[in-house]
Structure 1
Amino acid sequence: MSTSSSGSPDGLKPLNIRYYGFNHLFRLSKKSTTSRYRKPGQVGTVVADGEPGAPERVPVGPSDATSEYDIVIIGGGTAGCVLASRLSERADIRVLLLEAGKSSTEVAASRVPAGFMALMRGPCDYKLETVPQANCFGRRVYWPRGKFLGGCSGMNALICHHGSPSDYDEWAMNTDPGAEDWKYENFKRHVMYFENLTPQTLTSEKKPLEGARKAGVSVGYSGHYSNAAAKWHAACETLGIPVKENLSTSLGVSRVTTYIDPRGRRSTTESGYLTREVLSRPNLTVVVGAQVTKIVFGDTEKGLRAVGVDFRRKDGLVYRVRARREVVLSAGAVHTPQILMLSGVGPSEHLASNNVPLVHNLPGVGLSLKDHPWVMMRFRAKKNESLSSYLEPSLKYDHKRVVALFQWLLKHDGPYTSNGAEVAAFVRATDPILFPAPQGSPKLEDTTSGPNAPDLELLASPGCVKNLGGEKIPSGGVFGLVAASLRPTSVGTIKLKSANPSDPPIIDPNYLDTKHDVDVLVRGIRLMLEIVKTEPFASIVDQTDTHPDLDHGLHKLSDDELENVVRQRVETIFHPVGTAKMAPLSAGGVVDPYLRVHGIPNLRIVDASIMPTIIR
């Protein structure tokens, strides 16, 4: 790669990065750096004006070397950045990573752990929503998805935990060859390679993840642990929930470990894996602002193969790059099935109904969608016990935000290092001690992967939101207490709205379609209400506030009434999986244990859409 007339390596133009303050309160001085990423138009060959054409099969032959790569990765999200970095370690492999968004390093709210709610419904969020949910009074549920490098690792709540070993062992029960590699003991070593233990001074005595070593993303404890979180933790212990040193175990209550670096900033797969050193590799090209419109296929002596990718830039031009060896989909559980179907790979009848020519009939694409549904309860905090005032636009709290900003910048700790969910408990909804059943009551089905696996998560937040920030909450200090179902039995779908790549897909998680899922969340609310009235947490909750948006009277409701609360409030904790699941073709699978799409051996999928079951 040469230096262009612009004077910068690889023809890359200088990029001004502006750091905007949390909730637009402050702006720091503008910085300028050399852009590390290519823009659409510097890679590929123009194939169309405006919207791309229908899926097609093209002859496989020689092409312009500047438009050909060994491996093309679609989606620079949580997995895509890691894969691009690792594959390009081999100098003989030319790798292209395509990302629809921009760099998360340009977005200040993504660097500030407490700023993740400011990303919701913003320009770096796809701003998706479900169809009206039949079991939730017809509500549409907002689904945030990251639209920048690092993907949802740049806009989630930063919590780091492995899940239950038996969840992964369940994946290994797949009858296809290679499935045994997914057993937790095999999988764990790759997780450890991914994580870089970064203990903070405040909690140096802790051991967040036993065995973690220096690697890509940083894992540690934030520089802020609220008094409210500590008291909630103690109340859980009083009720008999076992205390665990870290959340890499399955059951118990613990302070959460987070993806945070030693300077108190969010650690993402972009910041951890697409470093300047990595991006200087001549065999790695990263293109931002490139919306993939379809995968291009060709008939070869070896059968149907993925031979290229079309992507569109903002001006409407569509470019094509060729893939000599493989195409890898890493667009997430929503967009991966959409791209497959736009490319002609999916259920034949559904493709025909959207006028998409069939390339490969694969009935499981877009099916088997699962997500973790959650319900938030809101309680008035006594003075100075909540962080919710940091989220309010009122000038009344500006001084607090300015102080917190400089605490974060200079000391790398304080409220802005909080992830908003500082402590969590994982329990079993069938635990007879936590949930003593009245005589003759129906037994709740155990949907977990094993006796040590949880199906219910409780989270305590020193702040509070409503509809993921889409609606106002009562002003002043408010706690947000969450119950989430970890092993729901309801199953949903992702479908095409049309053959136009600009149209978002039709998302139907089918929330609360089974009584089991409702009952688990009702039990979660009941347990949370017990924690609220248990010391020492009870002493910092102001039970006298009767604001209609607060839940101090929730304990008076019957189970039937709480069921309505669940249906009125259920939201996503943004963990969709399964829409291109790893399973035998006969069982509705889309990929094999080596993540190759059934029937297209050089097309792989590496994101959460391949998960055959949802992990806790």
Structure 2
Amino acid sequence: MIHTDVFAKLLRVLETIQARVSTSTRLSLGAAASVVALTLVLRYLTAKQPKLITDYAKVARKVNEDGAEFDEWDFIIVGGATFLIPQTRLGTAGCVLASRLSEDPNLRVLLIEAGGSSKNVMPSKTPAAFAKLMRSPWDYYLYTEPQQHAGNKKKFWPRAKLLGGCSAMNAMIAQYGAPSDFDEWAEIAGDQSWSWNNFSKHVVHFSLLLTFDNSVAQKYTPDPRFPHVDPLLRGADGPVEIGYSTHIWPGCKAFIEASINAGIPFSPDFCTTKGTKGTNKARFYRLTYIDSKSTRVSTESAYLTDDVLIRPNLKVVTHARVSKVLFDTSSGTPRATGVEFASKSHVNKVGPKFRARATKEVIVSGGSIHSPQILMLSGIGPATHLLHHNIPVVLDAPSVGANLMDHPSVNLRFREKTGTTFHHFTPHNLNTARLLMRDLLRYQLWGTGPLASNVGESVAFFRSDDQVLFPSAEYNNDLEDANSGPDAPDLEIIMCASAVHSHNIPLSPKLQAYQMIIILLRPTSKGSLLLKSADPWDDPLMDPSYLETKHDIDVLIRGVRAAFKIAHTAPMTSVTDVNASHHPELDHHFSSLSDAELADVIRDRVETVYHPIGTCSMGAGGVVDSELRVKGTQGLRVCDASVFPKLVSGHPAGAVIAAAEMLADIIKAHYA
């Protein structure tokens, strides 16, 4: 089966409108559709199928009435899939660890993933189609608990159920935060290995900076459109390719110039050793995880290549959920000895349980949602909470599930008057169907056009205490400073070539609109994650406690004001239709709202930008130590965004990959 919601929707639209058009038009559309379909079929049939395992008896033993039997591995990595979309990525680290650890032929590695491969999932491979994965079979389809400080609404949290985790589903933003973010982590962890000067060498390993080196994992392809980006600051020989989209929406160019005119200085590259230095600095022209064929680069495609998957010491199991980690408690200190896992059929029937033994370590990389859930199901967590669900307590660890933080965001929508947005991605008439058909052909044949875009092609980073954007004469500049350092931003605006109500719910089909996503990078609100039940198939209870603090509301108000200012500053005035102020789906009236009224809008509209972290955080009082070992246990580590003690002032996927690279080095050195 070829998975492409875009193509299926297009065919339905064509069927609807065919009776309204001439015979010649129907023939031309039919011929174009046939070309697209043939191209998709040929690409699917010729694509190499990844060597993944769904016959669990090949790697583990079935649990029977007499007890458990095991197949044995040195390392078992739990969760190569599902830090957001967009956005940390549940288990993005798992693929990195499996690839790096299995480089040593003497180490036997088993990776267990709840989803399947993303390599032949068209909405994942196609940059602009990532939203089609939301609320699909490739999504965990999670919702938070009702948000007490945000309209008492449950908020949708899309999480990828695919190898590569949310790196297979996010908006592909190649950015990692400010250097001072990592210096802050080092202080919290009590280990300078996490400081920027030391941690940055692991960032080099996958994509973001410095010079040519044999260990560099980044491939940067110089682009003549961006002469200010120095290719000598890019790696050249590693698996993670980054670059620019072949398509740039004109509105994104106007956004950059308008941001500069509004008072945000231009910086062509936010992925260098200088990070986000400069209190007033902005970062534009977003680098993305994309290859030379305009296909998404996930950690699966980068790290689990055909050459890696044929290693005899590596096995990758898919469509299997780990229900718990197994422990030997005979010595007093719980030692992880293996895992138990099973699958679930399409009719929700749970299959037989399997167990596999780990002679050295179990590494949980299920992300900020599933890693703490797995630990608690295994008996590691707040004792009172575990006993409430009749789970035997292996270790009383009150911090498991605590410190849940996320980047809250608010969409700001404006009518666009040039008629060039991506609204035809949801075709509703003959003309939009033709445009989508054109774009499908361009992308399938040449890797160009709007489908090669990640939709949000330019961004700005700035601070809420910027005296140019927020002068003292107009603003009370007594905000709490929640940043990691004076050079770190606390606000981001992403400029998007289309607009939605929420995530992938479109506006009215005939409405040409764009949106800006305003992101609070350094929130002070913290929530928690708890079990709903002892059933591993039940989603946990997630409460990020959005907008609990006054600080978070105040900073988001400033972000919305700044976005509105940019939208009405030249040359964005050539894009923004200022005469559409009364349309109920648009936000042109925001300038007339008081701060209190705007706060009510923000509380009602706030959403995730797919970056939950912290539920297994490191540091004093946290869950893991600085080498990501679960405190109070042996042979058990966690590696994903859940170990982050604070949010980075940017996008965390890069930091997740770097953390996995760092841990792989630590483990290989220990067992050398």
TM-score norm. by structure 2 comes to 0.84
**Residues 422-462 of structure 1: CA distance to partner in whole angstroms, max 9, x if unpaired?**
11010010111111134793611110011100000111101
Q: Which of residues 590, 613, 638 is equivalent to 1:577? A: 613
Query: Aligned partners of 1:166 and 1:337: how far apart in 2?
Result: 27
- Provide the residue aligned with 2:4 in structure 1: 20
Answer yes or no: is 1:132 the counterpart of 2:154. Answer: no
- Provide the residue aligned with 1:39 in structure 2: 54
Query: Aligned partners of 1:40 and 1:489: how far apart in 2?
Result: 46
Q: CA deviation at 1:81?
A: 0.3
Answer yes or no: is 1:555 the counterpart of 2:585. Answer: no
Q: CA deviation at 1:155?
A: 0.5
Asked if structure 2 preserves the Cα contact closer than 8 Å seen for 1:200 and 1:223, the reply is no
Distance 1:579 1:203, change over 3 A: same
Amino acid at match of 1:128: L
- Provide the residue aligned with 1:6 in structure 2: none
Amino acid at match of 1:561: E
| Of 591-600 and 20-29, the range deviating more from structure 2 | 20-29
**Residues 168-207 of structure 1: CA distance to partner in whole angstroms, max 9, x if unpaired?**
000111364xx11001121111111112233265636353
Long gaps (5+) in structure 1: 1-16
Q: What are the residue-to-residue correspondences of 1:87-486 with 2, within 5 Å? A: 87-174=101-188, 176=190, 179-195=191-207, 196-199=218-221, 201=223, 203=225, 205=227, 207=229, 210-248=233-271, 249-250=275-276, 251-301=281-331, 303-314=333-344, 315-392=350-427, 394-438=429-473, 441=476, 443-470=478-505, 472-473=507-508, 475-486=510-521
Q: CA deviation at 1:114?
A: 0.2
Amino acid at match of 1:376: N
Q: Which of residues 65, 68, 73 is equivalent to 2:72? A: 68
Q: CA deviation at 1:352?
A: 1.2
Asked if structure 1 preserves the Cα contact closer than 8 Å seen for 2:77 and 2:363, the reply is yes
- Provide the residue aligned with 1:9 in structure 2: none
Query: Aligned partners of 2:238 and 2:506: how far apart in 1?
Result: 39
Amino acid at match of 1:607: D
Query: Aligned partners of 2:263 and 2:110: how far apart in 1?
Result: 52
Amino acid at match of 1:599: G
Q: CA deviation at 1:397?
A: 1.1
Query: Aligned partners of 1:379 and 1:206: how far apart in 2?
Result: 31
Q: Which has the higher strand share?
A: 1
Give the structure, 1 or 2, with the largest relative contact order (CA under 8 Å, sep 6 or more): 2
Asked if structure 1 preserves the Cα contact closer than 8 Å seen for 2:423 and 2:512, the reply is yes
Asked if structure 1 preserves the Cα contact closer than 8 Å seen for 2:219 and 2:239, the reply is no
Q: Which has the higher helix share?
A: 2
Q: Which of residues 475, 492, 498 is equivalent to 2:527? A: 492
Query: Aligned partners of 2:237 and 2:429: how far apart in 1?
Result: 42
SS of the equivalent of 2:481 reads coil
Query: Aligned partners of 1:535 and 1:48: how far apart in 2?
Result: 71
SS of the equivalent of 2:505 reads coil
Asked if structure 1 preserves the Cα contact closer than 8 Å seen for 2:78 and 2:364, the reply is yes
Distance 1:394 1:218, change over 3 A: farther
SS of the equivalent of 2:635 reads strand
TM-score norm. by structure 1 comes to 0.91
Q: What are the residue-to-residue correspondences of 1:504-515 with 2, within 5 Å? A: 504-515=539-550
Answer yes or no: is 1:564 the counterpart of 2:568. Answer: no
Query: Aligned partners of 1:260 and 1:330: how far apart in 2?
Result: 24
Q: CA deviation at 1:220?
A: 0.5
Distance 1:556 1:525, change over 3 A: same
**Residues 343-370 of structure 1: CA distance to partner in whole angstroms, max 9, x if unpaired?**
1100001111111111111110000010
Q: CA deviation at 1:97?
A: 0.2
Query: Aligned partners of 1:486 and 1:187: how far apart in 2?
Result: 21
SS of the equivalent of 2:188 reads coil
How many residues get paired?
A: 583
Answer yes or no: is 1:82 the counterpart of 2:115. Answer: no
- Provide the residue aligned with 1:604 in structure 2: 637
Query: Aligned partners of 1:200 and 1:382: how far apart in 2?
Result: 33
Query: Aligned partners of 2:93 and 2:189: how far apart in 1?
Result: 25
| Of 467-476 and 133-142, the range deviating more from structure 2 | 467-476
Q: What are the residue-to-residue correspondences of 1:54-65 with 2, within 5 Å? A: none
Query: Aligned partners of 1:208 and 1:36: how far apart in 2?
Result: 38
Q: CA deviation at 1:388?
A: 2.3
Query: Aligned partners of 2:496 and 2:124: how far apart in 1?
Result: 19
- Provide the residue aligned with 1:10 in structure 2: none
Query: Aligned partners of 1:167 and 1:442: how far apart in 2?
Result: 23
- Provide the residue aligned with 1:615 in structure 2: 648
